[in-house]
Structure 1
Amino acid sequence: MTKSIGIPELAGVATYAQAARIGYSVEENVKRLLRIHWTERRLMQTMWAHLPVWEVKCALALDQWYCAEHCDWLRRRVKEMRHPTPPLDQPPNSELDAFLEEVLRAQNPPELVAGIYGVAFPALREAYFNHIQHSNPLVDHPTRRFMRFALLEVAEAIEWGEKALAALTRDETVAAAVWEWRDHLQLYLESAKGIAGDPKISVQEGDGRRGTRIRPLEAPLPPPRASEPFTPDFEPQRDERFHGLYNFEFPPHVVYSAPDVPADERNLALLSKRTLEMDVPEAMASFLFERKDQPWQFYLDYSRQLWDEARHAMMGTVAFESRGVDWTQIPLNVGFSLRLNGHATAQERQILLYAIEQSLMPGETGKRFEYETAVAAGDELSVHFHDYDWADEVLHAQIGRSALKREGITRDEAIRKGQEIHERTWQALEQYKSREPQVNWWPGFVKKVLGKESAVANKSLPEARIVGE
């Protein structure tokens, strides 16, 4: 053996003994990566297909982006190891796809969280962990490196899911139904031999409520829910804390840029607009799910933007929480996602989103103006948030421009079409206005939060040119 001079060998990635272990062959490695990739991709699509309660929406927005990032890493690694590249846009295993089809069929938020965070993600964590443990640490270092990042993110998602599921299943009847759903999914997962195709002799499960049991691997599969084509419901949802979902009067769209309104009130309008932005990822999720024929870059880019838009809504909630304001009492109407998801094609939703992004670029009315408004108001937290919001929106404009360019749609054409789509879908909201009174709530809100009369009280406000972010 070579004499050591005390410096760790092999760049510290392994000892000589560890690196001498025979791990997965390239063929076996690629087979496993294809299955893991398909799982991440289908879970990403499942998260787009459901628009549940607010806090679950926030987590899905984050984790669909994590799934997209993991998919991208996996795709690149597969391409490095195999030429020609094996198919990446079709299921590598029918039993695995059957399991993922069942996860998609969740019928309510508890089932959705249980399926993704209680069954699929733990199985994915096991697949990543096993790969790291059994692959050679030297020859397969590139795979192991990104899997360590993926494992961390999946573990964080599972931790959130456990807490969320505990909150969603306080009712014993709901809890029992969720356990039945988890058992259903577990059988399909076992039939697929797990995410990566690892055979098991048996599956041992245990918890404080049901004790421990051993279930044979070959247990018969229950009838699938995926017996008919899946039809998503893209009507936005809110829980009982919210009100004013169909009150489409939203003065902040105009107040934030009104020249005769003081900076503190305009800043309050901006924070209200940020909080309203949750309906943007709701619209994005629908066109991401429905546009199934796009190149991979389309899904990767827009998954990031979807997470950014959800973060912007969260920024608004943080700002109000820091002021001690119950932000669920703001009439956060669902008009944007409602009119687009129900009254525009998937491509039209994408075009309008780009048109809005472009409208935010001019310095005198766009994101620079919003940032300067927060500065003028002396609100350090708002300044911090709008600094990053501005940077995000520049990226989003680039994403939209690149996506539409691939389809032969120019910037000017998109802006013209976007205005047409806005006007047509805005008229479609008339049919929903009878669900709630259309009232101007802004003066009362300003009085409550700022302790003074609104500068636009008793004034008629013009209609916003494009109503969105």
Structure 2
Amino acid sequence: MKTYASYLSPDETSDALRDFFWREFELARMCFGWLPAFDTWEQKWWSGQIGYWHSRHMRFLEQRIRELPGAFPDRSSPPAILRDAYTRISLAPSARAFWTGYDLLLRELYRDYDAFLAVADPVTNSPTLDCLNVVLVERARIQHWLSATPLARYHDRSSLGGPDQEWLRYSEQVLAGIDRAMDGDENGWPPVPEAEPLGPVPVDGRSDPSMVASDYQTRIPQNEKGTYEFYADPANSPIANHTRQMIFINSTEIIASELVAYIFYSSHELPFEFYYDTARHIWDEVRHTEMGLRRLKQLGFKIEDFRYWGPCHVQKDATALDHYEFYSDLTNRAEACSFSYKRTCAEAFRQHGDIVSAVQSEFDVADERLHTGYGSKWSPELFKLATGESMTSAALVERYRIAALKKKGYSAEEIETRKKALNNFCGAAEGLGKHLTTVAKSAY
């Protein structure tokens, strides 16, 4: 536990808050990096939510730091040794080991918050105390879930549950080695236990067993995959030809969340605002998945009756540009082009008296309007980061929409025609949009 002076000066206060900021950042990276690795929906939900909370804490801390003396960077540049330590602890061989290491780091952070609060003057440092009261508002919820669920529930051959004792000892040794590493001791870190890490950012992710993967990859002929519409395939959903298919689509959005989580984890030296926006994007897609899963169950369906995209998979030779192109395509094309048919579905739900499903679709649109804004803001910067070239958001949008139409087999002349009509160029009048717009007029 850190110790703080009895009367903290503005400079000392700023130093303490900077330390808290970077630790919150690393905890957010850990949670998002592990999101694809978990094999239960509960853990994916909580890692997405907790990662988002940590990013919010960063924003609050940054605002207060900038009110205090001293320069503070506007881009990601955490202390290298701190990142090294948190990364070592996050390279866990199991979900249980991960939560063990995360819990240790979180408890250490809370102890330091408490030590700071114990000496901070309620008059001179009142704005800082106000900031930390907001930062700590989720504390009880996080600690309750950690103690009541993942750490208490996991079992293995050598333990009845609780923390992974071997990983706990290792993580404690890593924390103890930080000071030695800062003093230049290259041997300050403990040896890593002999076990393959399950996360973070695995090449092959995992899914909840109830979310059975579709067999479309082996079932659909290769020459038809370019025009194949996953969500129009009755083999993937018993309600493929109904308005309620929109609910199933929501339940599959975890795949987008996990791919964006890879980008959050692996992107460095970007403005803090990028991480705040991307954390919100990740959390929104997790929320949308839960909206879909919850509503399907409320309507009497079993999740096992549907077929999903399958675990998140990242090509071993994927480049940063590949990830950024996915991000730009997701935000500037896929999400931007979904507004029309999602609104149509929301209207159809209301006509059928299904207000809950209508409201879900309306919130989905509201959230994804934010995401398209994020795409417009960050796609050019990500593209420049990966290639060194400058390209406007509008040019990137056109680039990815043309690529999508080419994939569907459109000729250069047809693409040029669609460029003159935004809705058609967007694809809202074809494929998934056309399918959902059609079924919304007939079957609930």
TM-score category of the 2 structures, normalised to the smaller one: 0.7 to 0.9
Alpha-carbon offset, residue 339 of structure 1: 6.8
Q: In structure 1, which of residues 393, 402, 408 is the aligned counterpart of residue 377 of structure 2?
A: 402
**In structure 2, what is the Cα distance between the partners aligned to 1:224 and 1:61?**
27
Q: Which residue of the partner structure matches residue 272 of structure 1? A: 248
Q: Which residue of the partner structure matches residue 64 of structure 1? A: 51
Q: Which residue of the partner structure matches residue 358 of structure 1? A: 336
Where 2:66 maps in the other structure, the secondary structure is helix
Greater shift, 290-299 or 228-237, is seen at 228-237
| TM-score normalised by L of structure 2 | 0.73
Q: Which residue of the partner structure matches residue 344 of structure 2? A: 369
Q: Does structure 1 residue 110 correspond to structure 2 residue 96? A: yes
Q: In structure 1, which of residues 321, 326, 333 is the aligned counterpart of residue 309 of structure 2?
A: 333
* 1:111-260 matched pairs, under 5 angstroms: 111-116=97-102, 118-166=103-151, 168-173=153-158, 175=161, 178-192=164-178, 222-224=190-192, 232-247=201-216, 253-254=231-232
Alpha-carbon offset, residue 326 of structure 1: 2.3
**In structure 1, what is the Cα distance between the partners aligned to 2:96 and 2:126?**
38
| TM-score normalised by L of structure 1 | 0.70
Q: Which residue of the partner structure matches residue 47 of structure 1? A: 31
**In structure 1, what is the Cα distance between the partners aligned to 2:240 and 2:434?**
23
Where 1:81 maps in the other structure, the secondary structure is coil
The 1:244–1:231 alpha-carbon spacing in structure 2 relative to 1, beyond 3 Å, is: closer
Q: Which runs of 5+ in 1 are unaligned?
A: 1-20, 194-219, 257-262, 428-461
Q: In structure 1, which of residues 369, 380, 385 is the aligned counterpart of residue 355 of structure 2?
A: 380
**In structure 1, what is the Cα distance between the partners aligned to 2:107 and 2:434?**
43
**In structure 2, what is the Cα distance between the partners aligned to 1:97 and 1:29?**
22
Alpha-carbon offset, residue 225 of structure 1: 6.4
Report the residue type matching 1:415 in the other structure. Answer: V
**In structure 2, what is the Cα distance between the partners aligned to 1:164 and 1:102?**
24
The 1:188–1:333 alpha-carbon spacing in structure 2 relative to 1, beyond 3 Å, is: same
Where 1:413 maps in the other structure, the secondary structure is helix
| Deviation sequence 1:357-381 (CA, Å, 0-9, x none) | 22123x3x3x322321221332121
Alpha-carbon offset, residue 222 of structure 1: 3.1
Where 1:130 maps in the other structure, the secondary structure is helix
Structure with bigger gyration radius:
1
The 1:466–1:423 alpha-carbon spacing in structure 2 relative to 1, beyond 3 Å, is: farther
Where 1:181 maps in the other structure, the secondary structure is helix
Number of matched pairs = 375
Q: Which residue of the partner structure matches residue 64 of structure 2? A: 77
Alpha-carbon offset, residue 412 of structure 1: 3.9
Q: In structure 1, which of residues 340, 344, 347 is the aligned counterpart of residue 324 of structure 2?
A: 347
Alpha-carbon contact 1:298-1:403 (below 8 Å) kept: yes
Q: Which residue of the partner structure matches residue 24 of structure 1? A: 8
**In structure 1, what is the Cα distance between the partners aligned to 2:405 and 2:370?**
26
Q: In structure 2, which of residues 269, 285, 291 is the aligned counterpart of residue 293 of structure 1?
A: 269
Report the residue type matching 1:145 in the other structure. Answer: D
**In structure 2, what is the Cα distance between the partners aligned to 1:368 and 1:157?**
35
Report the residue type matching 2:104 in the other structure. Answer: V
* 1:285-324 matched pairs, under 5 angstroms: 285-324=261-300
- The percent of aligned pairs where both chains have the same amino acid is 19
| Deviation sequence 1:331-353 (CA, Å, 0-9, x none) | 11238x53789767121111111
Q: Does structure 1 residue 34 correspond to structure 2 residue 21? A: no
**In structure 1, what is the Cα distance between the partners aligned to 2:285 and 2:316?**
17
**In structure 1, what is the Cα distance between the partners aligned to 2:250 and 2:92?**
30
Q: Which residue of the partner structure matches residue 426 of structure 2? A: none
**In structure 2, what is the Cα distance between the partners aligned to 1:39 and 1:425?**
43
Report the residue type matching 1:417 in the other structure. Answer: R
Q: Which residue of the partner structure matches residue 8 of structure 1? A: none
Alpha-carbon contact 1:64-1:303 (below 8 Å) kept: yes
Alpha-carbon offset, residue 79 of structure 1: 2.0
**In structure 1, what is the Cα distance between the partners aligned to 2:246 and 2:61?**
39
Alpha-carbon contact 1:30-1:78 (below 8 Å) kept: yes
| Deviation sequence 1:203-250 (CA, Å, 0-9, x none) | xxxxxxxxxxxxxxxxx9632469x99983143311433322544589
Alpha-carbon contact 2:152-2:162 (below 8 Å) kept: no
**In structure 2, what is the Cα distance between the partners aligned to 1:281 and 1:77?**
30
**In structure 1, what is the Cα distance between the partners aligned to 2:315 and 2:345?**
25
Alpha-carbon contact 2:296-2:303 (below 8 Å) kept: yes
Alpha-carbon contact 1:187-1:221 (below 8 Å) kept: yes
Q: CA RMSD in A?
A: 3.7
